[in-house]
Chain A
């Protein structure tokens, strides 16, 4: 039970001084959101047009027409691209497979046995702090716990980034998913 959590956290928490590792993985994540904005942008634009339409519909027509012509081919070209980004998001969620991450952490040769055990100790300590926090036995804030979580994640990532970059990336990709569990009392209490 605790081992799963530990593995999950390790996966997410694994980071030492990984300011660097976290940065590279972020870009891809940002790329994914980038495609999303387009769809949302139209939504935002919807309300805007709703206001101006009455003002100057004619003025908007000229620019709209020329823009529409070049956009058509772009849209056509982007259609296939748009699909992948959507597929990327689901791929981002799979890293939430805590059991798989835990197993990969146990099996990786990037870090030694003592290091794995030490990391597990720290993950267990952090989980204990979350339990105390939710039970009102620890006077702290979720923001402070988040800092501890990020620190441990960075330690883990820094240890893995050279020896097992794929695992480091997977863990970093699960960062928010793991935090979503930790920061939610109900989800946390359901952890095995």
Chain B
């Protein structure tokens, strides 16, 4: 039972890894700049979640949340959540 439980836990953790909160100041700064370049209100990114490669959900100081990702065409897209 314990073995199965630990295996199950490991699997769940692996599945969750792609989406996790992170706090790299450089990444926050990068996201802040990207959102600002799009002319969207944010102020400053205070936190973000990693959804995948070049795919983030950023939380701004003013409460706005944006999904920032690179689409198939190589364009940086910022979507308000």
Q: Which residues of A contact B (CB under 8 A)?
A: 16, 111-115, 117-119, 121-122, 155, 159
Are B26 and A112 interface neighbours, CB within 8 A?
yes
A contact residues around B79 at 8 Å (CB): none
B43–chain A nearest beta-carbon distance, Å: 14
Q: Give the CA-CA distance A113 to B37 in the complex, in Å.
A: 13
Are A114 and B76 interface neighbours, CB within 8 A?
yes
Stretch of B3-11, B14-22, B27-35 lying at the A interface: B27-35
Are B36 and A114 interface neighbours, CB within 8 A?
no
Contact status of A114 and B31, CB under 8 A, knowing A121-B75, A121-B76: yes
A34–chain B nearest beta-carbon distance, Å: 36
| Interface SS of chain A | helix
Closest residue of B by beta carbon distance from A119: B37
Q: Which 3 A-B pairs have the closest CB atoms?
A: A112-B30, A118-B76, A115-B33
B68–chain A nearest beta-carbon distance, Å: 7
Q: Give the CA-CA distance A16 to B36 in the complex, in Å.
A: 9
Are B30 and A155 interface neighbours, CB within 8 A?
no
14 chain-A/chain-B pairs, Cβ below 8 angstroms: A16-B37, A111-B30, A112-B26, A112-B30, A114-B54, A114-B68, A114-B70, A115-B33, A115-B34, A115-B37, A117-B70, A117-B76, A119-B37, A121-B74
Closest residue of B by beta carbon distance from A109: B26
Give the interface size bracket for B toward A: 10 to 19
Q: Which residues of B contact A (CB under 8 A)?
A: 26-27, 29-31, 33-34, 36-38, 54, 68, 70, 74-76
A contact residues around B76 at 8 Å (CB): 114, 117-118, 121
A172–chain B nearest beta-carbon distance, Å: 18
Q: Give the CA-CA distance A114 to B74 in the complex, in Å.
A: 10
B contact residues around A117 at 8 Å (CB): 70, 74-76
Are A112 and B33 interface neighbours, CB within 8 A?
yes
B contact residues around A155 at 8 Å (CB): 37
A contact residues around B36 at 8 Å (CB): 16
A128–chain B nearest beta-carbon distance, Å: 12
Closest residue of B by beta carbon distance from A152: B37
B contact residues around A122 at 8 Å (CB): 37
Q: Give the CA-CA distance A119 to B74 in the complex, in Å.
A: 12
Closest residue of A by beta carbon distance from B56: A114
Q: Give the CA-CA distance A121 to B74 in the complex, in Å.
A: 8
A contact residues around B54 at 8 Å (CB): 113-114
Q: Give the CA-CA distance A155 to B36 in the complex, in Å.
A: 9
B contact residues around A114 at 8 Å (CB): 30-31, 33-34, 54, 68, 70, 76
